[in-house]
Amino acid sequence: MPENTFCPHEAQSGSSVVLSMLGVNMMVLMATLDMSIVNVSLPTLATMLEVDFATIQWVVLSYVLVIACLLMLISRLGDMKGKKRIFSAGLLIFTTASLLCGLAPGASWLIAFRALQGVGAAMSQALGIAIVTEIAPPGRRGQAIGFVGATVSMGLALGPSLGGLLIDLAGWRFIFLVNVPLGLLALRIVTRYMPALPPVQGGQRFDVPGAVLAAVSLGCYCLGMTMGQRMGFDQGVTMCLLGLSLVGLAVFLLVERRTAQPMIDLSLFRDTLFSLNLLMSVLVFISLTGGFIVPFFLQMAQGRTPREMGLIMMVVPLCMGLFALISGTLSDRVGPRGLSLLGLFILAAGFVLMTGLARDTPWWEFALRYAPVGIGIGLFQASNNSAIMGAVPRARLGVASGLLNYTRVFGQSTGLPLVGSIFTAYVVSLSNLPSRTDMTQVPPDLLVQAFNRTNFVLFFLATAAIGLACLVWRLDRRK
């Protein structure tokens, strides 16, 4: 049999499969490294590019919004045309866009190139877990997915410290250029060693109307939330954009119900446990976007340097990586439900601890208060992902993987402007400043208060996820 032909039995022991998993994890590392590096650099970018808080969010939003719009289409394309070809093309686009981001002459160009980077990320991230699930031995699926979670955490852990160091020593452009050599190496490994992974079933079609409606709805929501921070939520433009997003969502669901081959297969949601697991993931990833305001607290309220800030922020991804490995391994032995619930309780406790921070809180106390957030997400994510992927047939792994990734980017794309709006609203209400506020002009003590109150809102999101997890546990035991 040719080396690049996929065979489930040979995939369990072939060295090409080991290397292909390495290539997948390198792409995961690159994408998460890029995300965490960008997050830690937002205060610096806002200052150096001379843009306000609402605008600088689009450096992240343009990336996750494009991923959210393309993810399900790419997942279906992987099932139709083969996962390796799409994954490899995504790697190439992502690496090229990283180079362009590093060369961007201004904020508008940077946001545009970040959107292009999102195209490449969607093409690779949509199929990463599906590839790992398809080629991993069934008895070690949880461990393999847990390793992907650990790679995510490694990228998130390296990003803040590496980003702070690069900004101090070389400038903000190198936070994007660092992806280029890693991307080229990953592309070489994937094209040479990954099995072909041919399509399981043919005759599928794209749902272009559904994709357009999803893009318009998400775009209107994100633009409306950021415009609200800049102009106020009582303005006509803001209200119209948010209203259009709701109408677009309703029409999208109607179109998906009547389309023979929809972008999102709503029939999967007939399984109550599957639906609730995905909803929990959305809530967790919305709460996780609270991390993007942490650099503003550390740098603008506490006056720390980018290098110090990067080292402190490593605590959450390091905890995520360690406990994702533990959770992935244990979920194969004891089941995912208890681990998911435990992770959510710890996550909620972390947000409560984060409401007690002060301007003079030492770094070690901040790390101790922040660590439960990483521990909770690490325990929850790997076990919950294993439960979701283990519940679908092989012919629909691409779609299920796309849905799993979609919950992440949907949570990020909706959560980031939501958290930004909550944080801005608290800053404005506490300081009596206009809504179009330069965060560098806000007194540090008021930033601390706004940061603490925003974390209290995130605690309620985690509590809602706990309620869903308890319901899932009860339904699973009955089933």
- Pick left, alpha or beta for residue 149 (phi over 0 → left; psi -120 to 50 → alpha; otherwise beta): alpha
What would the two tokens of residue 419 be? 């958290």
Q: DSSP string spanning 241-261?
A: HHHHHHHHHHHHHHHHHH-SS
Confidence label for 12 from pLDDT (cuts 50, 70 and 90): very low
pLDDT tens string 247-304: 988 888 888 888 777 767 777 777 777 778 888 888 888 888 888 888 888 888 888 8
Tell me whether residue 1 is in a domain.
Answer: no
Cβ atoms of residues 73 and 87 within 8 Å: no
Tell me whether residue 379 is in a domain.
Answer: yes
- Of 184, 174, 152, nearest in space to 32 by CA: 152
Tell me whether residue 158 is in a domain.
Answer: yes
pLDDT: which is higher, 7 or 73: 73
Q: What span, in angstroms and rounded, lies between the C-alpha atoms of 422 and 426? A: 6
Residues 186 and 256 in one domain: no
pLDDT tens string 397-427: 656 666 776 777 778 778 888 888 888 888 8
What's the chain's length in residues?
479
Backbone angles phi, psi at 3, to 5 degrees: -65, -35
pLDDT: which is higher, 73 or 375: 375
Tell me whether residue 144 is in a domain.
Answer: yes
Residue 5 has pLDDT above 60, yes or no: no
Q: What is the enclosing helix (H) or strand (E) of 80?
A: helix 58-81
Residues 167 and 215 in one domain: no
Residues 6 or more apart whose Cβ sits within 8 Å of residue 428: 434, 435, 437
CATH of the domain at 184: 1.20.1250.20
Cβ-in-10-Å burial (0-12, 13-18, 19+) of 201 comes to exposed
Q: What span, in angstroms and rounded, lies between the C-alpha atoms of 173 and 263? A: 36
Residues 315 and 217 in one domain: no
Residues 74 and 212 in one domain: no
Task: Quote the pLDDT of residue 332.
Answer: 65
Stretch 362-366: mean pLDDT: 91
For the beta carbon of residue 274, count every other beta carbon within 10 angstroms.
18
Task: Quote the pLDDT of residue 2.
Answer: 39
Residues 273 and 155 in one domain: yes
Residue 10 has pLDDT above 60, yes or no: no
Confidence label for 27 from pLDDT (cuts 50, 70 and 90): confident
pLDDT: which is higher, 13 or 431: 431
Task: Quote the pLDDT of residue 440.
Answer: 62
- Of 421, 129, 126, 476, nearest in space to 280 by CA: 476
Domain boundary among 227, 247, 262: 262
Residues 192 and 332 in one domain: yes
Confidence label for 458 from pLDDT (cuts 50, 70 and 90): very high
Residues 349 and 443 in one domain: yes
Q: What span, in angstroms and rounded, lies between the C-alpha atoms of 416 and 290? A: 7
Task: Quote the pLDDT of residue 4.
Answer: 40
What would the two tokens of residue 366 be? 């901040």
Residues 258 and 329 in one domain: no
Domain boundary among 262, 294, 309: 262
Percent of the chain clearing pLDDT 90 (strictly above): 12
Residue type, 219: G
Cβ atoms of residues 164 and 305 within 8 Å: yes
Residue type, 280: M
Tell me whether residue 202 is in a domain.
Answer: no
Residues 52 and 169 in one domain: yes
Task: Quote the pLDDT of residue 384.
Answer: 79
How many separate domains does the chain show? 2
Tell me whether residue 3 is in a domain.
Answer: no
Domain boundary among 244, 262, 280: 262
Residues 63 and 95 in one domain: yes
> Helix %, strand %, coil % for the chain, to 5?
85, 0, 15
Q: What span, in angstroms and rounded, lies between the C-alpha atoms of 237 and 216? A: 15
Tell me whether residue 249 is in a domain.
Answer: yes
Cβ atoms of residues 374 and 320 within 8 Å: yes
Domain that holds residue 230: 207-262
Task: Quote the pLDDT of residue 443.
Answer: 83
Cβ atoms of residues 72 and 215 within 8 Å: no
pLDDT tens string 206-217: 677 877 888 788
Dihedral, 427, 430, 433, 439 alpha carbons, nearest 10:
-30
Residues 296 and 386 in one domain: yes
Residue 100 has pLDDT above 90, yes or no: yes
What is the DSSP secondary structure assignment for residue 171, as one 8-state letter? -
Stretch 195-220: mean pLDDT: 73
What would the two tokens of residue 406 be? 């979609």
Residues 375 and 250 in one domain: no
What would the two tokens of residue 18 be? 């080991």
Cβ atoms of residues 342 and 372 within 8 Å: no
